[in-house]
Amino acid sequence: MSTLEDLKTAVINGKRKDVKVIVPELLESGVEPTSLLQDALIPAMAIVGERFKNNEVFVPEMLVSARAMKQAMAIIEPKLLEAGISPEYTAIIGTVEGDLHDIGKNLVATMWKGTGFDVIDLGVNVPAAKFLEAIDEYKPQIVGLSTLLTTTMPAMKETVAAIRNAGHSKVMILIGGAPITQSYADEIGADGFSKDAGSAVDIAKTTLGIA
Ligand code: B1M
């Protein structure tokens, strides 16, 4: 019988096929999908990041780990969405221009969907202009911006400014990602910040006054 530790090891080592076997086994044995995330998948990516920082692994290894994590997410997402609430609010989400990281952003999108939001995911490397077009088209209550790179934090600031300058003063802008802090959110005029996907749900609901 596989354990959470086995799943963590499989993601660290980028073993997508193992992940495909372990995740359903764990779910069938009664492990909560949120526990798979919190106790295996997210810690696995943190270890990969630490190893990358220490030059113990390189981009190809990060990539295979990311693929293994995505494989796990593809199996878990339907479970997270089982609440089946019909959408009352619309959210747009994307990773800002210059940044290709999408695992955390996808997780926030999944959690928002699970809370009953209709989520339009613009993907990665999204220029401010594309956010503006999507706001005009979908009229969301919330826009979520994600970035993992310190070098793309200025793109986040530019996107917030572009949204405000275009006169969208009512749309709530929530930001997140590893280098992001509350003080950065305050500095660039975002309405909220959350450090993880779970609190992104709480912040979204509080910001909309539906908590
Ligand atoms: Co990159 N990478 N990477 N990488 N990568 C980091 C981010 C890094 C911290 C690694 C390190 O040095 N320790 C470092 C950034 C350093 C910095 O800027 N301070 C880094 C680097 C340097 C790079 C490259 C520049 C490497 C290179 O080419 N030399 C390059 C940049 C490419 C680009 O984007 N232009 C690069 C590339 C890649 C891969 C493509 C190989 C791959 C990404 C694959 C993919 O996403 N599809 C990758 C990966 C996998 C990582 C690490 C290892 C893992 C990221 C991840 O998925 N974490 C990462 C190290 C780390 O994070 N410890 C690293 C798991 C995920 C669940 O967490 O995304 O943080 P996270 O999301 C969390 C919260 O941040 C928050 O909630 C999520 C869930 O709880 N959150 C939000 C995120 N967005 C939010 C939005 C919200 C609210 C909360 O509201 C809207």
Note the pTM of the prediction, 2 decimals.
0.90
Smallest CA separation from ligand 1 atom 26, residue? 59
Task: Using the CB atoms, write b or e for 127-151: b if 16+ within 10 Å.
Answer: bbebbbebbeeeebbbbbbbbbbee
The model's pLDDT over 156-206, given as tens digits with 9 standing for 90+, comes to: 999 999 999 999 888 999 999 999 999 999 999 999 999 988 789 889 888
- The predicted pLDDT at position 87 comes to 67
- Distance from the alpha carbon of residue 162 to the mean position of ligand 1, in angstroms: 24
- The predicted pLDDT at position 205 comes to 86
The model's pLDDT over 30-87, given as tens digits with 9 standing for 90+, comes to: 999 989 988 999 899 889 989 998 999 999 998 899 899 999 999 998 888 775 555 6
Q: Ligand 1, closest atom to CA 70?
A: 47
Do 178 and 103 form a contact (C-beta atoms < 8 A)? no
Do 134 and 90 form a contact (C-beta atoms < 8 A)? no
4-82 to CATH, choices 3.40.50.720, 1.10.1240.10, 3.40.50.80, 1.10.10.1100? 1.10.1240.10
CATH number attached to the domain at 90-208 = 3.40.50.280
**Cα separation of 60 and 63, whole Å?**
5
The model's pLDDT over 77-118, given as tens digits with 9 standing for 90+, comes to: 888 877 555 567 899 999 999 999 999 999 899 888 877 789
* Ligand 1 lining (C-beta closer than 6 Å): 42, 45-46, 48-49, 52-53, 59, 62-63, 66, 93, 98-105, 107-108, 144-146, 148-151, 174-179, 194, 196-197, 200
- The predicted pLDDT at position 111 comes to 81
- The predicted pLDDT at position 39 comes to 94
Crossing angle between the packed helical segments 59-80 and 4-12, to the nearest 10 degrees: 140
pLDDT band at 151 (very low <50, low <70, confident <90, very high): very high
Mean pLDDT of 119-125: 97
Domain ranges, ordered by start, for the chain: 4-82, 90-208
Query: Which tokens sit at 39?
Result: 């106790």
